[in-house]
Structure 1
Amino acid sequence: MSEFLVDADTLVNARFGTSQLTETVSALKLLRAPVEPWFRPWKDTHSAAFQAAVAASPISSALLESAFGRSWVADFLTVPPLEPDLTLEEELEYLTSLSDDHIRADLCVVRTPLPSILLSSSGLAAEAAGLLRWVWRTTVEPDWPRRLRVLQADVVSRTSRLSEQGWSGVLRGLGPDVRWLGDGRIQVNRWDYPATDVRGRDLMFIAAHTQRVNVSWRLPDHFALTYPVTGIFATTETPDEPLVQLLGRNRARILVEAAEPVSTTLLVATTGLSLATISDHLRVLTDAGLLERRRSGRSVLYWQSDTGRRVVRRPASNRPEPR
């Protein structure tokens, strides 16, 4: 298994955030590999155009073939941002500054020998950046406002959990193989790689629409762990009809989704309702004692009160006997 070695300074200064480049590279991975069922509608929408775009550029095709291994992606594609929430163009500045020899060296870590077109061509960084811009503009940017709301809501939820459960609780929810091992050790995946010393360095946790946890770095001082945003692996729970009859369908759905702390932005993204409508329903449910609320940074989190949980989990003994 692979580990991060951390100290108190690392954890105190660690941040959660978003990255347009990380989101774009995650989309690129999904477009070129088998995906879980919940990603298939998105992939089916963009797969043909992606294949056509790659086929039109032999260099891009060779880059993709060489940059992705079973457990490793060429470093030039996964460099984390120095700050969270930058634009794609700001993040691509580092990639476009790299020499052809640097790109080839990163590719050789993944796969050798390299195709002859990559050995004889120049402008490899610009070619890679162009492909990433295409993926962003075509498959991510049109949906970015909704994606960003979901990602930001996840970040708020994680930081709230940190104050309540500590790092052990936060890490346990990032992925099936991520956990706090104690003694300054974080298990990040099950691949057999040497431990990475992150003590005294910058560590960022990046929420993304991805299938699994990934690690990345900008040596010597910047490291990142990318994790699947909350909700990708969850199925939507439909409120029981009696609850719908009592509260109305939208309020019942909001109450059910608030089994874990949720923000207004996350509810807007998951329900499709307007911010004003969500806010009104949350106010009514809170005034009725079915939800509790607490401010976390710039956001307000809502979750089921004890009364709300009892209403949602209507005991079998209270249900009418069949006639």
Structure 2
Amino acid sequence: MLRVRFTTEDLLRVTFADEPAPMVELTLALAALRRSDPLFAPWRQRTARTLPGAARPLLDLVPATGKGPLFLDPPSRGTEEGLDRVLSAPVPYVRGELVRIHAPGRRPTPWARLLAEGDREARRTLEDAVRAAIGGVLARPWERVRAGFDAERAWRLQTLAGQGLRATLEGLTAGARWNGSTLEFDSADDVEVTLDGQGLTLLPSVFWTGRPLVGRYVHGTFLVYPALAPLPLLDDPATGHSLAALLGRTRAAVLEQLVRPRTSTDLVRDLGLAKSSVSEHTKALRAARLITAQRDGRTVWHSCTPLGLELLSTRGSGP
């Protein structure tokens, strides 16, 4: 069983991650390559065929359980920042994490032993492997990863507003339950995490379908849990036309962007639209009660209403 013990201070410091963590998703994608999850079977077959040879050393570090070395998946705001954090991890930290994942019963490869010793060539192999894996595993589905993350985060924030933090945390996965101020999850391991007033960051993953994982990093403690819609169930952007048929392609694209708050400037930049066009579409979506606008000084932030989120969550359904 996984037990997460909260103090009052911890509960006041529970937050949602602002965006997906690419290195965490990469590690869990590598774990998915090693699992026999039927949901991921077609993705696993395609990805295994095209996985660059340079990326394969990482498979020696990441087991099917997803509980790989924490130096390999630091939360970050982008792949370059993530890679910098991986490569700047102190040798004692790397060594300790490699000892942890290889004990008991797993013998490290010669490369992993050199990595634990701080060997420069082993570090270069690590850099090449991470870069190759980013390109071979994450690059193609990243738009869907981001869309799944945004929809998940919006849904949970809606739950938080309507039902409160206790119900939101208990609803992260089936079987989660409160025992006093301790949140318990079914798990094959017996693990207890005491937050000590530092709080917790919630991080959904579209590559993970197992029980929640807790990672304690320099930058805080993260609870990684499976998003409601895992990657294979997320529509490929090239094939999802139902919402576009209802609203029009451009207006649907604007609505999809607004599962997280965005400014008009963000929409102009990310969708390549004229400012007047953005204004027209946001006005129409507000009139339909699909989005709302909130002014902060000179800046106007647009975001989905619950009705807009419901429309997005049901796209693609039907006969």
- Normalising by the smaller structure, the TM-score range is 0.5 to 0.7
- CA drift of 1:198 comes to 0.8
Alpha carbons of 1:91 and 1:233: their partners in 2 closer, same or farther (altered >3 Å)? closer
The answer as to 2:107 corresponding to 1:113 is yes
Distance in structure 1 (CA, Å) of the matches to 2:279 and 2:112: 54
Residue of structure 1 equivalent to 2:59? 64
Residue of structure 2 equivalent to 1:29 = 31
Deviation at 1:196, TM superposition (A): 0.8
1:199-248 CA distance string (max 9 Å, x none): 311411112222323221126x7211112223239979xxxxxxx9xx99
Written as runs of structure 1 = structure 2, the 5 A alignment for 1:117-266 is: 117-120=111-114, 122-123=119-120, 124-177=122-175, 179-212=176-209, 213-218=212-217, 222-232=220-230, 250=246, 264-265=256-257
Which residue number corresponds to residue 315 of structure 1?
none
The answer to whether the 8 A contact 1:180-1:186 is kept is yes
Check the 8 A contact 1:210/1:227 in 2, yes or no. Answer: no
Residue 43 of structure 2: aligned partner: 42
Structure 1, unpaired ranges of 5+: 237-243, 252-262, 268-273, 309-323
In structure 1, what is the Cα distance between the partners aligned to 2:85 and 2:169?
A: 29
Q: How far 1:285 sits from its partner (Å)? A: 8.6
Q: TM-score, normalised by structure 1?
A: 0.66
- Taking the TM superposition and a 5 Å limit, the aligned residue runs for 1:238-317 are 250=246, 264-265=256-257, 298-304=301-307
Which region of structure 1 is more displaced relative to structure 2, 196-205 or 122-131? 122-131
On the 8 A contact 2:62/2:69 being kept in 1, the answer is: yes
SS in 2 for 1:215: strand
The aligned length equals 271
Preserved CA contact (<8 Å) 1:216 1:224: yes
Q: Can you list the C-alpha shifts for 1:16-59, whole angstroms capped at 9, x where unaligned?
A: 1221111111221122322332x34433332112274456xxxx
Give the residue type in structure 2 aligned to 1:300: S
Structure number, greater radius of gyration: 1
* Amino acid paired to 2:90: L
CA distance, structure 1, for counterparts of residue 112 and residue 285 of structure 2: 60
Paired with 1:282 and 1:139, the residues of 2 have a C-alpha distance of 35
Matched-pair contact (CA < 8 Å) for 1:201–1:222: yes
Whole-angstrom distance in 2 between the partners of 1:71 and 1:120: 22
Which residue matches 1:91? 82
Shift of 1:295: 6.3
Separation in 2, partners of 1:143, 1:69: 20
Other structure's SS at 1:4 match = strand
C-alpha distance in structure 2 between counterparts of 1:54 and 1:234, whole Å: 22
Deviation at 1:119, TM superposition (A): 3.1
Which stretch has the larger CA shift, 151-160 or 197-206?
151-160
Counterpart code for 2:15: R
Classify 1:69/1:183 alpha carbon distance in 2 versus 1 (closer, same or farther; 3 Å).
same
Aligned counterparts of 1:75 and 1:30: Cα–Cα separation in 2 = 17
Write the letter of the residue equivalent to 2:257.
T
What secondary structure sits across from 2:215 in the alignment? strand
Residues 76, 106 of structure 1: 8 Å contact kept: no
Relative to structure 1, the CA distance from residue 292 to residue 64 in structure 2 (aligned partners, 3 Å threshold; closer, same or farther) is closer
* Partner SS for 1:195: strand
C-alpha distance in 2, partners of 1:287/1:116?
63
Aligned identity (percent) is 17
